[in-house]
Amino acid sequence: MLKIFDDKSKILREYCDEVPLPLSKKDEEVLLSMLHYLEKSQDDKYAEKHHIRSGVGLAAPQIGLKKRMYAIYYKKNEDEVIQYALVNPKILSNSTKMCAMKNGEGCLSVKEDKEGYVYRYYKIVLKAFDVLKNKEVQITAYGYDAIVLQHELDHLNGILYYDRINKQNPFEIRPNSEFI
Ligand SMILES: [Zn+2]
């Protein structure tokens, strides 16, 4: 069982290091164990038994590693699973249009959800090495998919989602943006 570090831990505020490629066996194993953790966390019975919270994304610093890699796993609908095990992700381009989740975001490292809109790019093109495909990939993502990729990328730069909430006006409505 992976130990999840919370937002009081210094590592959650650090800028993570690039990961050498080709990927070492150890890094690959760790990243796949993170993906597996997410998948299991979405099984209610398993999560309850092991006292873990359900999550869709997990970045290396959240398990105490200062490395630029993260895993994502969720079911988009009945028969479509979105899953990635990404190393050294980088945003190549983004829309000017923004989006935010109408119910706000959550994070395995943040015990109590913080209320407010977290604005992110509506569309991104991201490149990374994906362990699941064993090659460099370019991912074009919109809306929720783009939000998850950006939330995890923030972790690699020491940023937490609530840093992006407007403290004076947490529910500010911004132009050129969409709620998801
Ligand atoms: Zn998070």
Give a three-class secondary structure readout of the chain: CCCCCCCCCHHHHCCCECCCCCCCHHHHHHHHHHHHHHHHHCCHHHHHHCCCCCCCEEEHHHHCCCECEEEEEEEEECCEEEEEEEEEEEEEEECCCEEECCCCCCECCECCCCCCCCCEECEEEEEEEECCCCEEEEEEEEHHHHHHHHHHHHHHCCCCHHHHCCCCCCCCCCCCEEEC
Helix (H) or strand (E) holding 47: helix 44-49
CATH 3.90.45.10 fits 10-179, yes or no: yes
Across the range 30-42, mean pLDDT stands at 98
| 152 in active site | yes
Cis status, amide bond into 175, omega within 30 of 0:
no
Residue 106 CA to residue 124 CA, distance in Å, equals 20
User: Does the pLDDT at position 13 exceed 90?
Assistant: yes
pLDDT tens by residue, 107-163: 999 999 999 999 999 999 999 999 999 999 999 999 999 999 999 999 999 999 999
Catalytic residue among 29, 152, 172, 178: 152
Q: How do strand 135-142 and strand 123-130 relate by DSSP bridges? A: antiparallel
Helix (H) or strand (E) holding 32: helix 25-41
Distance 169 CA to ligand 1 centre (A): 22
Average pLDDT, whole number, for the chain? 97
Residue 18 CA to residue 86 CA, distance in Å, equals 12
Distance 23 CA to ligand 1 centre (A): 23
Distance 162 CA to ligand 1 centre (A): 10
Amino acid, single-letter form, for residue 54: S
Q: What is the pLDDT of residue 86?
A: 98
Distance 26 CA to ligand 1 centre (A): 23
Domain-by-domain residue ranges, the chain? 10-179
Distance 61 CA to ligand 1 centre (A): 10
| Cα four-point dihedral sign 83, 86, 92, 95 | positive
Confidence of residue 3 (pLDDT cuts 50, 70, 90): very high
